[in-house]
């Protein structure tokens, strides 16, 4: 057998090999969709192939001019990645991968990394469909990641490529949503139960935490809650910051009525195990098909605390609200009972963030070694499948990192582009396993350049929080595990003489917040001993201590080479970038699982020669 024939056979094997990815052609249905502007002129559909790391967009705009779609960042449009296209009056199409060199000027990329799948125009719409890699080797292209993505959409009234700020829109979207609701089962015997506050007069205060205690559905046998969604009055949507449902221990003595959750009566802060939660920007959430919240057995909670955080910044009088959470439950049982573990920085009274900080990091440590003792029964390995991130307005990024036997194991979840206005429950692409003895660290990144006084941890939107809720199975009795630094040590490092934590917090107010002192405070908070507070559903509390471990940044994955592509210096290694997917006659992407075998047996040069010989585009 000649080498050429052997090459051909190996290549055919590679191309014929089935792929586990979701290959998307020009007629494939795109599962996700959203309007990108308030007037519903710009409509986006998208879908992605996690294995091939390719995302496909379809932008439909009410215009007969040009359209553009790309990715930008939080602070400036300069450097934004923008793919533009349109149909000329003579029917010819134009399409280009570009970027913004300033706020208004477009320039074509040297590397064209977007692949056109369709571009049409009729009397009403211009529709552009294209695919692009999650990460190209072009430094002008923004990465598509599991973070919140700021999607930039723009258009013109004719075919003159000129940005108009009135027709340019930016929307935060979590593009890589792993599970689509259509992929999940909806039981035929579904029952709906609403947990809500009825006709509540919202106080004329900036911040109100309203709490009441409500019974869960009364059922004669075990059922599972499998979905929840917010119930919001349309005219009050902007005033409702978050809604949480806490499970109460069956031994708890609960008050009646509605009151301030964290006010004069401490009984209204009872029950601390979150079972479902919604925050600004979130929508409904359905659990995976194998998990649910158990109700109806002697071990299950019978009552919950409903907490609604209102932000009435305009101090509007006479506003009544009936918001809450709608639960969907079924007698068709799932395999696992789920729980929620709250991690992060213990909010009050130790948490502080200096003013004028370009960047300030806060940490909250959790040590799981006492979980079994506090649970009162063996604790199986915790399987995490989803998460909800939460800070207030100064938050810029969060992550939860897992350690085992003193070594960093994985980043469970993160968002380096956190948006306060898009807080939603997200699924992990895998199940992250936590074993007893593991340590969990939450890191929150803040920016306070617009503030001239200290920001303290607290319930108000203008205060701060640093929380991550992990959705997991099988359920145990641990509700939260949170940490905070030794504030006496921090105060001493900042040159303040104090003898107790309260004095320490008061002394923080005396510090002049120069850039040097901001960094000194951040360093002291990280180096201080962490006090770890663990709490159960029955309000049992146990304290322990620990130290903040170092976080090793996760390396970026390889970029995808394109025709005429540029390779970044950090990618110039044998495994630093990967070849573009081999195109078949159609729009599908061929599997490359066996192509490395060719390179392994005969060298990378042989592979390149082989592909060129067979006229397969790379």
Q: Which residues 6+ apart lie within 8 Å of 352 measured at CB?
A: 454, 455, 456, 457, 505, 508
The owner of tokens 């509007």 is 316
Strand partners, 329: 191, 225
Q: Which residues 6+ apart lie within 8 Å of 591 measured at CB?
A: 14, 15, 17, 18, 19, 21
446-481 as b/e: b if 16+ CB within 10 A? bbbeebeeebbbbbbbebbbbbbbbbbbbbbbbbbb
Strand pairing report for 577-578 and 559-560: parallel
DSSP assigned state of 101:
S
Strand partners, 83: 69, 97
With the C-alpha atoms ordered 159, 163, 165, 167, is the resulting torsion angle positive or negative? positive
Of the candidates 241, 390, 392, 445, the residue annotated as catalytic is: 390
Residue 603 backbone dihedrals phi, psi, to 5 degrees:
95, 155
Gap between the Cα atoms of 507 and 548, Å rounded:
23
Three-state secondary structure of 511-571: CCCCHHHHHHHHHHHHHCCEEEEEEECCCCEEEEEECCCCCCCCCCCCEECCCCCCCCHHH
With the C-alpha atoms ordered 590, 592, 597, 600, is the resulting torsion angle positive or negative? positive
Element spanning 274, H or E: strand 273-279
209 is catalytic: yes
Strand partners, 35: 43
Of the candidates 209, 329, 472, 484, the residue annotated as catalytic is: 209
Gap between the Cα atoms of 277 and 275, Å rounded:
7
Gap between the Cα atoms of 260 and 305, Å rounded:
12
Gap between the Cα atoms of 483 and 468, Å rounded:
12
235 is catalytic: no
Integer angstrom CA distances of residue 256 from 84, 214, 259, 277, 514: 59, 9, 9, 22, 49
DSSP assigned state of 464:
B
Query: Residues with catalytic annotation?
Result: 209, 390
């Amino acid at each position: 057998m000649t080498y050429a024939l052997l090459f051909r056979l190996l290549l055919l094997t590679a191309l014929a090999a089935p792929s586990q990815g979701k290959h998307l052609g020009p007629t494939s249905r795109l599962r996700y969709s959203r309007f990108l502007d308030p007037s519903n002129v710009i409509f986006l559909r998208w879908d992605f192939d996690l294995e091939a790391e390719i995302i496909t967009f379809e932008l439909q705009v009410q215009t007969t001019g040009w359209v553009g779609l790309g990715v930008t960042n939080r602070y400036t449009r300069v450097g934004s990645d923008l793919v533009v296209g349109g149909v000329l009056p003579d029917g010819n199409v134009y399409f280009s991968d570009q970027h913004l060199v300033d706020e208004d000027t477009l320039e074509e990329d040297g590397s064209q990394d977007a692949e056109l799948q369709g571009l049409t125009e009729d009397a009403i719409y211009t529709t552009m469909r294209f695919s692009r890699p999650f990460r190209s080797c072009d430094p002008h292209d923004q990465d598509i990641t599991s973070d919140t993505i700021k999607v930039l959409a723009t258009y013109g009234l004719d075919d003159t490529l000129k940005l108009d700020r009135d027709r340019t829109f930016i929307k935060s979207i979590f593009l890589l949503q792993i599970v689509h609701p259509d992929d999940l089962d909806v039981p035929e015997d579904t029952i709906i139960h609403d947990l809500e506050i009825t006709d509540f007069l919202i106080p004329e205060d900036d911040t109100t935490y309203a709490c009441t205690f409500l019974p869960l559905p009364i059922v004669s046998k075990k059922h599972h809650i499998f979905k929840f969604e917010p119930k919001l009055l349309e005219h009050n949507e902007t005033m409702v910051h978050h809604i949480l449902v806490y499970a109460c221990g069956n031994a708890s003595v609960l008050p009646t009525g509605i009151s301030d959750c964290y006010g004069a009566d401490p009984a209204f802060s009872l029950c601390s195990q979150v079972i479902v939660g919604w925050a600004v920007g979130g929508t409904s959430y359905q659990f995976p098909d194998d998990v649910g919240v158990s109700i109806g057995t002697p071990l299950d909670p019978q009552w919950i605390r409903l907490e609604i955080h209102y932000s009435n910044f305009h101090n509007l009088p006479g506003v009544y609200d009936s918001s809450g959470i709608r639960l969907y439950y079924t007698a068709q049982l799932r395999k696992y009972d789920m729980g929620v573990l709250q991690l992060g920085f213990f909010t009050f009274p130790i948490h502080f963030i200096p003013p004028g900080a370009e960047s300030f990091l806060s940490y909250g440590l959790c040590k799981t070694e006492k979980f079994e003792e506090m649970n009162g029964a063996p604790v199986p390995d915790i399987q995490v499948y989803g998460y909800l991130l939460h800070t207030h307005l100064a938050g810029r990024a969060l992550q939860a990192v897992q350690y085992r036997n003193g070594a960093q194991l994985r980043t469970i979840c993160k968002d380096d582009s956190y948006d306060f206005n898009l807080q939603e429950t997200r699924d992990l692409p895998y199940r992250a396993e936590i074993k007893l003895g593991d340590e969990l660290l939450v890191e929150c990144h803040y920016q306070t350049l617009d503030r001239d006084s200290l920001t303290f941890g607290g319930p108000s939107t203008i205060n701060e929080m640093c929380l991550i809720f992990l959705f997991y199975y099988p359920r145990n009795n641990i509700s939260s595990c949170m940490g905070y630094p030794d504030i006496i040590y921090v105060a001493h490092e900042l040159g303040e003489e104090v003898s107790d934590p309260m004095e320490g917090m008061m002394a923080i107010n005396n510090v002049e917040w120069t850039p040097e002192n901001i960094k000194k405070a951040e360093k002291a908070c990280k180096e201080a001993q962490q006090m770890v507070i663990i709490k159960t559903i029955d309000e049992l509390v146990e304290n322990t201590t620990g130290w903040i471990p170092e976080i090793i940044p996760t390396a970026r994955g390889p970029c995808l080479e394109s025709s005429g592509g540029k390779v970044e210096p950090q990618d110039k290694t044998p495994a630093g970038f990967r070849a573009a997917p081999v195109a078949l006659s159609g729009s599908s992407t061929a599997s490359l699982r066996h192509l490395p075998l060719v390179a392994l047996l005969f060298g990378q040069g042989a592979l390149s020669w082989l592909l060129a010989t067979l006229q397969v585009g790379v």
